[in-house]
Amino acid sequence: MRGYFGIGVEGISKPMNFGALFRSAHAFGASFVFTIGAAYSRNAADTTDAPANLPFYDFSDLDALRLPKGCALVGVEFRDDAAALPSFCHPRNAAYVLGPERGALSPGLVACCDHLVKIPTRLCVNLSVAGAIVMYD
């Protein structure tokens, strides 16, 4: 396997979504997990304690976000101008970021993204489910 990927969230508020997403990240072999403007606390959904087993970055806000050199930022967002996941060519080194529940990625974060990708569904799916689908793809 060549390259790496990480996955994170912006402004998430539901601890169970954190836990399920980070547990899935650990299972799918993510190289790191991260949050932007969110308070992470370990909970029962993260049975693998992912942040204790792979690098965890807790960025206070978008200005604090730092990714490795050569790492593409891919926003996962349900919007018309996003590439459909089945036809998306994943970057060799990427950090995927999902927005908050009942919301969207902030305009500032969208502007920072190298790519936007969407899961072609009729309506939005749960945040941790969306993350798992992207990691599986």
Average pLDDT over residues 112-133: 94
Count the neighbouring beta carbons within 10 Å of the beta carbon of residue 12. Answer: 23
Alpha-carbon span 137 to 131, nearest angstrom: 10
Q: What is the DSSP string of 45-62?
A: T-TT-HHHHS-EEEESSG
Average pLDDT over residues 71-98: 96
Residue of 22 and 94 predicted with greater confidence: 94
Side chain identity at residue 33, one-letter code: V
Percent share of the chain, pLDDT over 90: 67
Chain CA centroid to CA 91, Å: 14
Model pTM score? 0.93
